[in-house]
Amino acid sequence: MFATGHVDTFARDNLPPQSDWPEFRFTLPELNYPERLNCVTELLDRWVELGKGDEPCLITPTETLTYAALQERVNRIANVLTHDLGMVTGNRVLLRSPNNAMMAAAWFAVIKAGGIAVATMPLLRARELVYPITKAQISLALCDARIGEDLEKAKAQCEGLKRIAYWGSDRVDDLTKLMTQPGYERFAAANTASDDVCLIAFTSGTTGEPKGTMHFHRDILATCDSFGKHVLRPVASDRFIGSAPLAFTFGLGGHLLFPMRVGASTILIERASPDEFFAAVTTYRATITFTAPTAYRAILPKIASLDVSSLRKGVSAGETLPKATFEAWEKATGIRLLDGLGSTEMFHIFVCSPEEEARAGATGRVVPGYEARVVDEKGREVPPGTIGRLAVRGPTGCRYLADPRQRKYVEDGWNLPGDTYMMDEEGYFHYQARSDDMIISAGYNIAGPEVEAALLTHPAVAECGVVGAPDPDRGMVVKAYVILRPDRVGDAALTKALQDYAKEQIAPFKYPRAIEYVTELPKTPTGKLQRFELRRMAAAAAGQKLAS
């Protein structure tokens, strides 16, 4: 590792032992970064230096910032951090806000000043905020005053959190007031190493207690120079829009990193339901969308009434993209969605194909700069057409913050994201399930997401989640939790119809032997289905049935 630029070495001290790291590969020339690197210089400052300061950068319903205007705001916040709030390089700074220009500027300011950004989902409550504050030993937070209540409650439970600086308040020490001090418009980026930690992103908790993933300055650029450059291929005239919070690495890439790496602009909206999201696409003439499959699917019935003619690309991630949604979106818009597989541990997308190579039902090929293969339980590569565990390595990879689960995620230098895949003869990866989502019923291996994808093509089904439910005879049975469309009634007749339909779409042994109709599904703040919670519900229901 290079000489750190951090005074506070907590992050470097709490990296896993290097023997537990994945093997990092820098196979593309653009991935070989200099020893000294501050990623904000590359993403923001260089565009002003190149004379593009007047180009639009952030577009919001309340303000539009050029690259030069954003640079000045970032510099002012960085000066407040270092001169007024006592931040030193290497300090972790918690960020809490909806997606807006101040949140984006605060993220860049923390990193430009040599700090480590720890962004949190705006929907998290006090008890959920205590964990990252404690785990990352955070002493300072920047927060939108509108959502400060839960952070104040968390602060009362965390002795280490000493200071919260708010913006949008009427306090005399409001961040925006501190930013107006003379000379604060200039700030020299901290002299950080390319392998200094600049971001700790906590996983969304789909499998239990969140894990803090640690990413370097070089990682921020590497995702832009691999997936961004070779698969997404944006241009400076693009306007990006996404639905995920900036605290989610999928949202961070789609909102800020990919557009700003090429000098493009991004549209930030605080509320992003499918209706609000696609209304903003129309209003601001977005060209590239980043959202989940559920959003694309939800808007399809209304797409004919919307003007989405400005769109030229769409990225889908967070959950596997069902073949039916891919085909329906292409039929409605002419756009072939990019199905991206990424993880917080890997920072962003590492399996995805550009639109001309995309195939319905397949995630895609490995992103240039990465290697991926399918392995058995002993880590041995299996032949094409064989189902097994996905293994990946490249310029980014898993480094957990002081967490023994590092050894579970990384084996023999390969990252194991926890996905079950099959790779075909042409190198396309076909999603089967999360490794813990495989349902073993009467000796059959059944992928829950495959059953979900089949049910989602039925006109009565709006959303669904499929897990294994304990069964005394079969070990497990396939159970579907289904949200119906408004005009449908979940009765015995519909249950049989859905079961028969599933048998027509997939192998009959995979059909859901149990169907429960619900009004909502458990999800993370980023919209990911929490199948572990569905499994808990299914186990509890089975226990009650046996007890009766």
Residues 430, 499, single domain; the answer is no
Cα(167)–Cα(106) distance, rounded to whole angstroms?
10
R_g (Cα) of the chain, nearest Å: 23
- Angstrom CA distances, 80 to 142, 199, 400, stand at 11, 20, 30
Question: What would the two tokens of residue 506 be?
Answer: 């997939």
Residues 275, 347, single domain; the answer is yes
Q: Give alpha helix (H) positions in 95-212.
A: 101-112, 126-135, 149-157, 175-178
Question: What would the two tokens of residue 193 be?
Answer: 């190493």
Q: Is residue 153 part of a domain?
A: no
Residues 284, 381, single domain; the answer is yes
Give 417-466 pLDDT, tens digit per residue. 988 999 999 999 998 877 777 787 765 668 788 899 889 999 999 999 99
Cα(153)–Cα(99) distance, rounded to whole angstroms?
22
Cα(265)–Cα(358) distance, rounded to whole angstroms?
26
Cα(135)–Cα(212) distance, rounded to whole angstroms?
8
**Percent residues over pLDDT 90 in the chain:** 82
Mean pLDDT in residue range 243-257: 94
- Angstrom CA distances, 446 to 23, 156, 389, 475, stand at 32, 47, 15, 13
Cα(467)–Cα(447) distance, rounded to whole angstroms?
9
Q: Is residue 16 part of a domain?
A: no
Residues 351, 497, single domain; the answer is no
Residues 377, 241, single domain; the answer is yes
Q: Is residue 113 part of a domain?
A: no
Give 389-405 pLDDT, tens digit per residue. 999 999 999 999 999 99
- Angstrom CA distances, 514 to 18, 105, 372, 517, 534, stand at 47, 49, 36, 10, 13
Q: Is residue 184 part of a domain?
A: no
SS (H, E, C) 21-60: CCCCCCCCHHHCCCCECCHHHHHHHHHHHCCCCCCEEEEC
Number of domains in the chain: 2
Q: Reduced to 3 states, what is the DSSP secondary structure of residue 431? A: strand
Residues 6 or more apart whose CB falls under 8 angstroms from that of 486 comprise: none
Q: Which of 408, 435, 462 is the last residue of a domain?
A: 435
The pLDDT of residue 205 is 54
The pLDDT of residue 548 is 59
Q: Reduced to 3 states, what is the DSSP secondary structure of residue 314? A: strand
Residues 245, 381, single domain; the answer is yes
Contact 56, 68 (CB under 8 A): no
Contact 525, 123 (CB under 8 A): yes
* CA nearest neighbour of 97 among 264, 214, 268: 268
Contact 169, 177 (CB under 8 A): no
Token pair 């000796």 is at which residue?
443
Residues 6 or more apart whose CB falls under 8 angstroms from that of 121 comprise: 204, 245, 247, 248, 525, 526
Helix H or strand E segment including 198: strand 197-202
Residue 398: give its domain's CATH number. Answer: 3.40.50.12780
Q: Is residue 169 part of a domain?
A: no
The pLDDT of residue 547 is 64
Residues 430, 448, single domain; the answer is no
Q: Is residue 422 part of a domain?
A: yes
CA atoms within 13 A of residue 136's CA, in its CB half-sphere: 34
* CA nearest neighbour of 320 among 215, 434, 192: 434
CA atoms within 13 A of residue 354's CA, in its CB half-sphere: 11
Q: What angle do CA 66, 67, 68 make, to 5 degrees?
A: 90
Q: Which domain holds residue 541?
A: 442-547
Phi, psi of 419 (to 5 degrees): -110, 140
Residues 419, 508, single domain; the answer is no
Pairing verdict, β 288-291 and 64-66: unpaired
DSSP class of 43: I
* Alpha-carbon torsion (329, 222, 258, 136), positive or negative: positive
The pLDDT of residue 102 is 98
Residues 354, 448, single domain; the answer is no
The pLDDT of residue 71 is 98
Residues 6 or more apart whose CB falls under 8 angstroms from that of 540 comprise: none
DSSP class of 71: H
Q: Is residue 330 part of a domain?
A: yes
Residue 467: give its domain's CATH number. Answer: 3.30.300.30
Give 319-375 pLDDT, tens digit per residue. 778 888 899 999 999 999 999 999 999 999 999 999 999 999 899 999 999 999 999
* CA nearest neighbour of 372 among 509, 213, 227: 227
Residues 422, 450, single domain; the answer is no
Residue 164 has pLDDT above 60, yes or no: yes
What's the whole-model pTM score?
A: 0.85
Mean pLDDT in residue range 182-209: 89
Contact 157, 128 (CB under 8 A): no
The pLDDT of residue 413 is 97
Q: Which of 413, 435, 457 is the last residue of a domain?
A: 435
Residues 299, 354, single domain; the answer is yes
Cα(184)–Cα(86) distance, rounded to whole angstroms?
15
Reduced DSSP (H G I as helix, E B as strand, rest coil) percent helix, strand, coil of the chain, to 5: 35, 25, 40
Residues 410, 487, single domain; the answer is no
Q: Which of 435, 465, 487 is the last residue of a domain?
A: 435
Q: Is residue 140 part of a domain?
A: no
Mean pLDDT in residue range 478-506: 94
